[in-house]
Amino acid sequence: MISPYTKIKTIIIDDEQLCIDSLQLKLEETCQDIEVLQTCTSVTEGLKAISNHKPQLIFLDINMPGEDGFTLLEKIDTPTFEIIFTTAYDQYALKAFQFNAINYLLKPISPEEIMLSINRYKERTYNQTSIQQLQSLLDDVRSTQKEIDKVALPTTNGYRFVLLKDIIRLEASSNYTIFYLTDQSQVVVSRTLKEYEIMLENHSFIRIHNSHLVNLSLIKEYYKGQGGTIIMADGTEIEVSARRRNYFLEKIEAFIK
Delimit the domains of the chain by residue range: 8-142, 162-256
If you ran DSSP here, which 8-state letter would residue 226 be given?
S
Phi then psi for residue 42, to 5 deg, are: -155, 165
Quote the CA–CA distance of 55 and 73 in Å, as a whole number. 14
> Mean pLDDT of all residues in the chain?
85
Spell out the alpha helix ranges (H) of 31-85.
Answer: 43-53, 69-74
228/74: higher pLDDT: 228
- Closest-CA residue to 239 (of 142, 191, 171, 189): 171
Quote the CA–CA distance of 211 and 171 in Å, as a whole number. 5
Mean pLDDT of 205-229: 93
What is the model's pLDDT at position 92?
A: 55
What is the model's pLDDT at position 145?
A: 46
The distance in angstroms from the start CA to the end CA of the chain is 50
224/106: higher pLDDT: 224
255/235: higher pLDDT: 235
Question: Is 8-142's fold the same as 162-256's?
Answer: no
- 8-142 domain in CATH 3.40.630.30? no
State whether residue 123 is helix, strand or coil: helix
Tell the CATH superfamily of the 162-256 domain: LytTr DNA-binding domain (2.40.50.1020)
Please report, as a single letter, which amino acid is at residue 156: T
| Contact of 183 with 166, CB cutoff 8 Å | yes
- Closest-CA residue to 137 (of 48, 74, 51, 207): 74
For residue 86, the cross-strand partners are 61, 105
Quote the CA–CA distance of 169 and 182 in Å, as a whole number. 9
What is the model's pLDDT at position 1?
A: 46
Mean pLDDT of 107-129: 77
What is the model's pLDDT at position 109?
A: 87
pLDDT at 126 over 60: no
State whether residue 145 is helix, strand or coil: coil
What is the model's pLDDT at position 230?
A: 96
| Contact of 79 with 57, CB cutoff 8 Å | no
Quote the CA–CA distance of 125 and 129 in Å, as a whole number. 10
| Contact of 150 with 139, CB cutoff 8 Å | no
% the chain with pLDDT above 70: 83
Mean pLDDT of 68-72: 84
95/120: higher pLDDT: 120
What is the model's pLDDT at position 76?
A: 85
| Contact of 61 with 73, CB cutoff 8 Å | no
